[in-house]
Amino acid sequence: MQEKILITGANGFIGGYLVDEAISQGLDVFAGVRKESNHVSLKEKKLQVIYIDFDDEASLVDLMQNYKFDYIIHNAGITKSPDKNQFHEVNVNLLVKLTKAIQKSGVTLRKFVYISSLAAYGPADHQPGKTIAEDSIPKPVTEYGRSKLAAERYLKEKTQLPYIIIRPTAVYGPKDKEFLSVFQMVMNRINLQPGLKTQYLTLIFIKDLAGVILKATLSPYTKTAYFINDGSLYSSDHFVRIIKRTLNKKTLNIKVPLFLVKIITFIMENFSKLIGEYSILNTDKVHELEARYWNCDASKVSTELNYAIQYTLEEGVKETADWYQTHKWI
């Protein structure tokens, strides 16, 4: 009999790849989505779509008792919002409601996997070796990061679930919208760089991330966490150079001092509030840009899970760019 896995947020960027990886691993996949969400992308896949109402505890308990999942990957959450309180409402409270329902149902899971973020620990500027490690003290600099850290702490301190926490660094790949603007700028022959100092970051290609997560899910390990990156530290300039080479584009390079970025951010944020919209350039984004090192030690992935990263940065960027161009995103 196939083992059952529930993946929440299955219609999102990371969720869609988790679904594909779980199917390829021979699991019986259940895609958890909100009824009002757009989940057209799941219709052609070999899975069952389940509508989840996190506000209805009775239905959540029934869901657990009826399906008796072996594994749950809780991927549902938000990365941006004009309302700071919404980060806690979604990223923390959905986890609380789901875990309470699991425990109340009496069902025994083999693994509960929570998709957190490097943002929960913050940048490594003040860490030894400019690297976030397992024993580092978390210092998130954004509301998103603080909400992820709060969810992690609840899972570890308030539940008895056999959990694994996954903390990916910046994720890129086909269908991603976060790095899309960088590819678009390069296509328009512009390289706009916020800040005069070089920023160093770690990255992970989406297919490698999905592979690591499923490897951790099916592993014998519990009550542990993994930082995820591709094993290299890149300058932001290097990342852009790879995109330029892949797209065969030369760019006008413009560096904008951070003090000017802050002024522009203040204007954009306040204007966005007036018209009821979300500003892509916001205070949290400035805090991310101010940090010099977004680096973490992901060696446990290879030493404990025996997972070897499949994609180099060049290969990942090429596959991403090809997809963007095929689908007319750039």
- DSSP code, position 91: I
Q: For residue 160, which amino acid is it?
A: Q
Q: Do residues 295 and 202 make contact, with C-beta atoms less than 8 angstroms apart?
A: yes
Structural domains in the chain, CATH included, are 4-172+203-231+295-309 (3.40.50.720)
Gyration radius (Cα) of the chain, Å: 20
Q: Which residues contact 40 (CB under 8 A, 6 or more apart)?
A: none
Q: Read off the tokens for 121.
A: 């620990």
Q: What is the pLDDT of residue 203?
A: 98
Nearest to 186, CA basis, from 281, 67, 309, 325: 325
Angle ∠(246,194,127) on CA atoms, nearest 5: 95
Q: What is the pLDDT of residue 54?
A: 94
pLDDT digits (tens, 9 = 90+) for 196-212: 788 999 999 999 999 99
Tell which wins on pLDDT, 271 or 121. Answer: 121
3 state DSSP class of 17: helix
pLDDT digits (tens, 9 = 90+) for 88-99: 999 999 999 999
**pTM score above 0.85:** yes
Residue with tokens 């350039």: 281
